[in-house]
Structure 1
C-alpha cells in the first residue's frame, strides 16, 4: 500500500477492568494514538471500530463503535463496526488501509476494544464458544472448545516430531520474559519452565500458564495518506507492505489452510520472504499455537520449529524474535483489541521506541492474527507486513 502510512499508535495496559466500560477504554487508547500522531480530532474522517464479544459480555450490539466513541469529540463521522472473532482488529485495519489507499479518506482511526472479563465465567465461555459453528456444540459449555482443539493438535505434533511439554513451557517462559519488559502487558512476572509445567492442567498437555488469559483492553492506530503523513511525523511513519485477510475452508490439506494461503499472498505482495522478517507478533492463544506458526509462517521447516525454541532463536537477541510484547499468553488477549495491539508493537519496534525489549535494527515486521474456528481451520486470518 504505497500511499498509506501508520503515523500514530496507542493502547491501554491489558488487564481486568471491572470499573471501566468499553467507552472508557476506547477513549484512553484513542487519545494516546492521536497524541502520538500529532493529529487533531477534526482531521479524522472515519473510524473503523473492532469488537467481538460485547453482545455477550455487556449486551451492547449493533452500534458498538458509536456508543464507545460517544463523548470523545469524534461522533458524527462515519463509524464502521467490524466483527470477525479474534481477528476483528486485523480485519478493521485491513478495511481502513484499503479505504485510505483508494483515496476515500485521507486520515482515519482504527480502534479495537474488548471487555472479555465477567464475574460470571459462563458468560465469557459462551462468548468464546460463539466463535465456532454453534450448531456443532452440544450441551452446556464447561471448557473452551479452542483449548481442546489446541491440545489435540499439540498431541499430534508431539507424536510426529518428538516435541515435549518442555518445549511448550519454554515458549510460555520466553513470552513471560518479554512481557516483563512491556509495561502494557497483563502478566509481567517472569516464570521458569518448571513453574509453567507445574501449573494446573487445563487440557493435556496444556497447563494454565500456556494459555492466554481473560482480560480487557483497547488499542488504536492512526492511518494516513502518505501525502498527509509526509507533513507530520515523517520519522515515525511506518509503511504497510502487505495486508491480507483469508477465511477458513474445508480444504485445509496440501498447504491450503487460511494461514498458509494468507502468508503466501502477504510475502508475494510485500516482495519479501521469511528470511527478511526481523520480528513477528503471532496469535499464540496457547503456546503450541506459536510453535505451529513458526512453521506455517516459514521461519522453520515442517517439524523443525522446536529447534528455534531449543536455540532461543525466537527470544530477544535471537535470529527471529517472536512476540516481543509478551504475546497473547502474557500480554493478554482481549479479542477485538488483539490484532490492533499486535500492530502497535510492531510499529514501536520499527520506530525504535520499544525500550528494553527493542529488537536492534528492525526494518521488517509481521503480524499474524486469527479468529474463530470453522471445520478444522481458523475462521479468519489476518497477516500484515510492515517496513521502514
Structure 2
C-alpha cells in the first residue's frame, strides 16, 4: 500500500456570496490549492477527482462534479460526485486516498462545494432535514437542530453537562474564527453572550448552531514518488476510517455519542499506528456545540461523560494540550455542507506546514479531521503527520 501525501490544500471564503456560482467558488479553492504547492504542478496530470456536494442550492447540476472540474481545466479527468450529507467531502478525501494507495492514480483531487444561502429558510430546513431520518423524525416535525437538541438533553441528563460547557464551545471557536480570514462568522463571542442567546431548540440556542454557508474546498493528493517533486513540506495521510451508523436517533443504543465516530476513529488510529493521546490537534465536526463535546469522547480525547470538564479545563484552547477547531470550526468558519470535510483537511495542512497565520500553533506534528454526515449516519476520520515517512 503506497504512502499518500497532501501536496496542496485550500478553501474559498465561506459565507454568503450572491454573485458567486458553485463553479467560481470551486475555482477559487482549486487555484488557491495549486498556489500552495511548492513545485511545478501540471493539472493535466491529475488522474482522478472526487467532489463532495449535497446539491442543495445554486442551481447545481446533476453533473456538478464534472462541471466544477471542467471549470478549472480538468475536463477529461475522471470525476465522481460523492454525496454523504455533511460528510460528503470527507468521504471524497478517503476515495482519493484509496485511489492512490491502490495504484489507480498518482495524483488525485478531493474537494467539495455548496451554495446554501440562495434558498428560503423553509427550503434550507428541508435540505438540512433530509440529511437525517426522513420517514419518522422529519415527518414528526423534528428539525436538524431538534435532533441535536435531543442529544444535548440526554448528555446533560446523563453526565451533568451544563449550559456553560456548551457555550464554551462557541466562545472558543469564535475566538479562533476571528483570526481566520476565510470564516463566515469571523467575530469574537464572549462566554456570556453565548450563554444568553435566544433559544433555537431547547437546550440549544443561537450560538450553539453553525450557520448555513456558501463555499468550496480542495485537497490535492499525490503518491510519494510524485510528492517528492511537488513539495518541500510534506503532509502525509497516515490513517483513514469511515463508518456508517443508523440514520435515525431512535434506532441507536445511545444518543449521548455517535457510534460511527468511534468506529471510524478506531480504523484510522489502527491504520496510523497511533492512539488518541498521540493527536496534537484536531478539526472536529461541530455543527452544534454538543457535537463537539461528543466528539471529544467518541474520538478518545477524554472519557465518556467528561467532555464538559475537559473543555472547561482549557485543554482544547489554542494554548491547551490538544487544540480543537483552530479554524473556528463549523460554528464560526461556516458549514457549506459539501465543502466541510476537505475544508478541515485544508486547516490541518496549513497548521502542519506552519502557514495558518495569526491562528498558527507551533510544534504541531500530528493532526486529525472528523467529518460527520447528518446526526451520525456517516463519518470519516483522517490522521495526518508532518514530514516524510
Please indicate, yes or no, whether the TM-score normalized by the shorter chain is above 0.5: yes
2-structure distance, mates of 1:155, 1:49: 35
| Residues 47-66 of structure 1 deviation map (CA, whole Å, 9 limit, x = unaligned) | 111111x2x42443421112
| Correspondent of 1:185 among 169, 172, 183 | 183
Q: Aligned residues, how many?
A: 379
- Corresponding residue for residue 126 of structure 2: 126
SS at match of 2:157: helix
Match in the other structure for 2:18: 18
Q: CA deviation at 1:346?
A: 0.5
Give the distance between the partners of 2:71 and 2:119, measured in 1 at CA.
27
| Alignment correspondent of 2:314 | 312
Change (3 A) 1:126 1:275: same
Q: CA deviation at 1:329?
A: 0.5
Partner residue, 1:153: 151
Deviation at 1:71, TM superposition (A): 3.4
Gaps of 5+ in 1: none
User: Is 2:60 the partner of 1:60?
Assistant: yes
Deviation at 1:309, TM superposition (A): 1.6
Q: What runs of 5+ residues in structure 2 fail to find an aligned partner?
A: none
For the 8 Å contact 1:34–1:40, the answer to whether it is kept is no
Determine which of 238, 242, 266 is the counterpart of 2:239: 242
User: 3-state SS of the aligned residue for 1:70?
Assistant: helix
Q: State which of 342, 355, 367 in structure 2 corresponds to 1:353.
A: 355
- Match of 1:111, SS state, is strand
1: CA distance between counterparts of 2:83 and 2:74?
Answer: 21
TM-score (norm 2): 0.93
Query: In 2 relative to 1, CA 278–256 (structure 1 residues): closer, same or farther, beyond 3 Å?
Result: closer
SS at match of 2:71: coil
1:86-127 CA-partner distances (Å, limit 9, x unpaired): 000110000111101111111121111111112411111111
**Is the deviation greater in 43-52 or in 58-67?**
58-67
TM-score by length of 1: 0.93
- The alpha-carbon distance between structure 1 residues 307 and 105, as it changes in their structure 2 partners (threshold 3 A), is same
Partner residue, 2:385:
387
SS at match of 1:184: coil
Query: Which of residues 221, 224, 243 is equivalent to 1:223?
Result: 221
For the aligned residue pairs, the C-alpha RMSD in angstroms reads 1.8
Q: Distance in 2 between the 1:126 and 1:138 partners?
A: 9
Q: CA–CA distance in 1 between the matches of 2:187 and 2:33?
A: 27
Q: Distance in 2 between matches of 1:242 and 1:137?
A: 34
- The whole-number CA distance in structure 2 between the counterparts of 1:225 and 1:299 is 30
